[in-house]
Structure 1
Amino acid sequence: MTISGPCNAPDVVDVVALGESMVTFLPSRPGRLADVPSFERGIGGAESNVACVLAAAGHSVRWVSRVGTDGFGDHLVEVIGGYGVDVSTVHRDPTRPTGIYFRTAGDRSTDAHEVAYYRAGSAASAMSVDNVDPGAVRAGRVLHLSGITAALSEGCLDLLRELTAPRPDRPLVSFDVNHRAGLWQDTDGPRVLLELARGADIVFVGEDEAEEAWGVTGGPEAIREALPEPSVLVVKEGARGATVFEGAGAPAPPSAAQPTPPAPSAPSAPDTLTFVHALNVDVVAPVGAGDAFAAGFLSATLRELPVRHRIRHGHLWAAAALTSPGDLATPPTRPHADRLAALDDDAWGRLRLGPGWTQPAQRAEEEVRTP
């Protein structure tokens, strides 16, 4: 059953992020889910995380999704809208619930955690080509997607295939692979993720997930060989840093006045390869760092900064998430991040960031010190 929603004619925004967000229940103390007595409510969703952080940094952002008409749906729309994100095109579905999940306090990037998802049949899993407003989705300079959405249902997969297909009126497409093996009910997940990534303009992928999903080993160069189509390929190498491959003539995001970028094409000349070391960070919680990195990189891309600065902004925004307890952390102000991104290589290497570093009281030059 298709549930219709309002169809507006939205103004052009910097970024449109499409995907499911869920209400998250965070444990009151460490331990197994069976032993935790109580939980605190939060929100979680790769695409909405990117949307919230970008909006907090002053970008115009729209989140496109579906939620139930339940209290959890109310909470998601209110919280995400509270960051300054445009939620006017989020559809409310009276027949399907808003997704929720519970997790333990361990690191989600390792096996030292438990996650219990209650998202099967959720409102967001009903997204499809037929019920998502194409005007709302394409009215962005950048459209940000992730592989998580493709795993939710056949309708969601068809929608992502449509949005990543080459066409003259599509925005610059950003795609975070976000391989989650547990979400795929068959073995087609890796193949589907590779297909979608090949249709995007900017792709974010971790070195570890490229090996897990596609069996690619040998470092960033091997990943680029397996994925030559995107104009910009961002390979995240964990605590070591990130490598960006940029093809000749890689398109910049279109201006707000003209939201139609050049049609994507495979690089026709050798890539420019740029590596930037990760920062020294006093980690509070690793949750949300990947989404924050993508947001920082996209923010700098929208500003047409050099690729080295785009990577550094990604690292800085990830550091804001790593030094905060929740999924969402306030990014550094633009002048603050620009100053740190402009440091010479020696000073960048000596930079160490701890909890509170994005706050005004912490913005002293003492940040630059030998770890």
Structure 2
Amino acid sequence: MTVTGSRNAPDVVDVVALGESMVTFLPSRPGRLADVPSFDRGIGGAESNVACVLAAAGHTTRWVSRVGADGFGDHLVEAIGGYGVDVSYVRRDPDRPTGVYFRTAGDRAGDAHEVAYYRAGSAASAMTAAGVDLEAVRAGRVLHLSGITAALSADCLDLMRELTAPRPGRPLVSFDVNHRPGLWRDGPGPGVLLELARAADIVFVGEDEAESAWGIDGDPSSLREALPEPDILVVKQGARGAVAFGPAADSPGTRGGPTARGGTPPTPGRAPRPRPAASAPALAVDVVATTGAGDAFAAGFLSATLRGLPVRERLRHGHLTAAAALTAPGDLAAPPARALADRLAALDDTAWGRLRLGPGWTQADEGADEEVRTP
């Protein structure tokens, strides 16, 4: 699948990302939140992270959201705009605050990791279909959304349903499931994420997320059977890598299936299990921090999609962009230069498997693959 669209139309950008961003407070040293004496300010938000990384990779992007009419809102708009993202459609709310959160240092997967969110009643939770500029949201070749927005409020869920509803001229909808269990203690529950994913064109989901949110075992074929509609389904498998199912695969009568494309329906009886269109093993990485890696993977995959690259190369670009985030502190890291990423993504399977990436690898000189390769 290649993204099409006129780049000459007024106000059209490569990617529009809609969702909440928060000011993040990162600890000055390891330890419990109760023991950390000071914090450094940063920014964090799944959708704005994708927009920032794509802008740094040379794409035109827009972030649409709602922030408070406060200093933290000022900081978010200025910081995200500083990456080259269009922030002119971010609304300011005089009555609700910008969300913030604090976290401990180290890997999020650790037992001692703590995150304290202060986002209830935030400005972003008041986003509605009537309160955002839908024309600006839809004026992208790709519209990137995540399941986090759906969990913020009933109005936000209605907005997500409006944006994923089928309609003529709808942009390509990219949806990262981003299941956050703590956000679904009230309301309809994470089952609505399956509904939204089935309405999207490109879906990113982790095996662990699928089991936690929907009770679907992590087998990628089981996930494709549960999600036959998206043209592209990317299943992330952690340290093992990722697989992608393409539009040629799956169930007759679904969007992108053989009947919908004019093919011959399969022989009656039990259909064969869906098979991935492509796979890519994860890279060996000397991890500095895990925050933002999933958003970076989505950005790398979408960048390669916008360029019309084959699905396997899209997965590899996702891994490479994620590796840039994993080898840098904070939620955001500059992606590798396009020439370097293209060269590494084109390696044969043996050379790809030998790569080991550490801090600073994105600054490797032109042609210096050995600088990022295990001896």
When the two structures are superposed, what TM-score results if normalisation uses the length of structure 2? 0.90
Deviations 1:4-33 (A, max 9, x none): xxxxx9610000000000000000011111
Letter in 2 for 1:315: H
Alignment partner of 2:303 out of 272, 276, 299: 299
Counting only pairs closer than 5 Å after superposition, residues 155-304 of structure 1 correspond to structure 2 as 155-186=155-186, 188-248=188-248, 265-268=255-258, 272-304=276-308
Question: Structure 1 residues 169, 369: closer, same or farther in 2, change over 3 A?
Answer: closer
Q: Distance in 2 between matches of 1:334 and 1:116?
A: 36
Question: Structure 1 residues 24, 366: closer, same or farther in 2, change over 3 A?
Answer: same
Alignment partner of 1:340 out of 309, 319, 344: 344
Deviations 1:186-211 (A, max 9, x none): 37322110000000000000011111
Superposed CA RMSD in Å reads 1.8
Q: Distance in 2 between matches of 1:292 and 1:157?
A: 24
Q: Distance in 2 between matches of 1:131 and 1:348?
A: 47
Work out the number of aligned pairs and report it: 350
- Kept in 2, the 8 Å contact 1:51–1:62? The answer is yes
Identity of aligned residues (%): 79
- Kept in 2, the 8 Å contact 1:235–1:244? The answer is yes
- Kept in 2, the 8 Å contact 1:13–1:139? The answer is yes
How many angstroms does 1:275 deviate by? 1.1
Deviations 1:202-250 (A, max 9, x none): 0000011111111111511111111111110000000100000001299
Letter in 1 for 2:302: L
Greater shift, 138-147 or 222-231, is seen at 222-231
Question: Are 2:319 and 1:329 equivalent residues in the alignment?
Answer: no
Letter in 2 for 1:108: R
Question: Are 2:70 and 1:70 equivalent residues in the alignment?
Answer: yes
Letter in 1 for 2:255: S
Letter in 2 for 1:30: P
Question: Structure 1 residues 119, 344: closer, same or farther in 2, change over 3 A?
Answer: same
Q: Distance in 2 between matches of 1:10 and 1:95?
A: 33
Greater shift, 211-220 or 141-150, is seen at 211-220
SS in 1 for 2:204: strand
Question: Are 2:143 and 1:143 equivalent residues in the alignment?
Answer: yes
- Kept in 1, the 8 Å contact 2:208–2:218? The answer is no
Deviations 1:91-128 (A, max 9, x none): 11111110000011132245431111111111111000
Partner of 2:3: none
How many angstroms does 1:326 deviate by? 1.1
Deviations 1:71-107 (A, max 9, x none): 0000000000000000011011111110000011132
Question: Structure 1 residues 329, 239: closer, same or farther in 2, change over 3 A?
Answer: same
Q: Distance in 1 between matches of 2:313 and 2:45?
A: 26
Deviations 1:33-58 (A, max 9, x none): 11110000000000000000000011
How many angstroms does 1:360 deviate by? 4.2
Partner of 1:49: 49
Greater shift, 294-303 or 117-126, is seen at 117-126
Partner of 1:22: 22
When the two structures are superposed, what TM-score results if normalisation uses the length of structure 1? 0.91
SS in 2 for 1:265: coil
Letter in 2 for 1:301: T
Q: Distance in 2 between matches of 1:249 and 1:130?
A: 38
How many angstroms does 1:273 deviate by? 2.3
Partner of 1:358: 362
Q: Distance in 1 between matches of 2:289 and 2:30?
A: 13
Q: Distance in 1 between matches of 2:34 and 2:276?
A: 50
Unaligned residue ranges in structure 2 (runs of 5+): 1-8, 260-273
Letter in 2 for 1:225: E
Q: Distance in 2 between matches of 1:77 and 1:218?
A: 38
Counting only pairs closer than 5 Å after superposition, residues 1-12 of structure 1 correspond to structure 2 as 11-12=11-12
Q: Distance in 2 between matches of 1:34 and 1:189?
A: 31
Question: Structure 1 residues 104, 218: closer, same or farther in 2, change over 3 A?
Answer: closer
SS in 1 for 2:350: helix
Q: Distance in 2 between matches of 1:87 and 1:303?
A: 24
SS in 2 for 1:189: coil
- Kept in 2, the 8 Å contact 1:245–1:274? The answer is yes
SS in 1 for 2:43: strand
Q: Distance in 2 between matches of 1:106 and 1:189?
A: 29
Question: Structure 1 residues 237, 57: closer, same or farther in 2, change over 3 A?
Answer: same
SS in 2 for 1:92: strand
- Kept in 1, the 8 Å contact 2:210–2:218? The answer is no
Letter in 2 for 1:76: L
Partner of 1:5: none
